[in-house]
Structure 1
Amino acid sequence: MRVKMKQGALAKQPGSSWVVLRGKKHKFFFADRSHPLSERIYEKLDWLGKKLKEFGYVPNQNFALHDVEDEQKGVMLSFHNESLAIAFGLVSTVEGSTITIMKNLRVCGDCHSIIKLMSKIVGCKIVV
């Protein structure tokens, strides 16, 4: 399998998360800035990052890439597609609405912790 991947015969599918809102699918990838609401999404993500720190969140760097500087690992974890999809849901729905995220791959352990804490911070139910 790995040999075929190296030869280019197989490709690894990139992780993605999406939200369906008003019948339209909004899909996000790692550090994605292609969405029309990208600026508002990243502003909300920045606000959430500050709130997470206030609540004592410390990134679990075991879930970041191993070939990256330690200081960059925490930043990279905040741009996972789940966080982008949640931030989109928060800027696009009424406060307190349930946000439902779908994924093509599993949720990393750090994102699982973040999502639980985000739900408490914003006071809404987040379903992944």
Structure 2
Amino acid sequence: MVSARRTGRLTAPAVAVPCVAAVVWSGELSTGALLAVGGSGVLVAAVGLAGRAGETAPPVGRRGLPWLAWLAAAVAWELVSLIDDDLPTLSDLADPLLAHPTARGVATVGWLLAGCWLIARPGRPERK
């Protein structure tokens, strides 16, 4: 039987290599790059959720407040930038940094590694 850890180690490169290749060669803000990143994200999330199927999720509690604050700030920024055309969106700010194909590839690998890390984190130990 193949362990979940080994399956994860095999899945990550199988997802990352085609995704990074599509992002590097498709160009910035292209449909191909969007589909590659979105599809890879959905695939990594599905593998993570399938691996934890049947588990009861522990309550987030106060640990989630910093993440909620970051999410609220990003959503507020995007909403304000939709109203005010002079304010750049977050993607407008990232465009100069991601203009070079190598930078886009490195950013994509980092994004995928962050997703894999979030999914592979062990849960809290059970209290007895």
Is the TM value for this pair above 0.5? no
TM-score (norm 1): 0.26
Structure of higher RCO (CA pairs closer than 8 Å, 6+ residues apart): 2
TM-score (norm 2): 0.26
**Greater Cα radius of gyration, structure 1 or 2:** 2
Q: Between Structure 1 and Structure 2, which shows a larger proportion of strand residues? A: 1
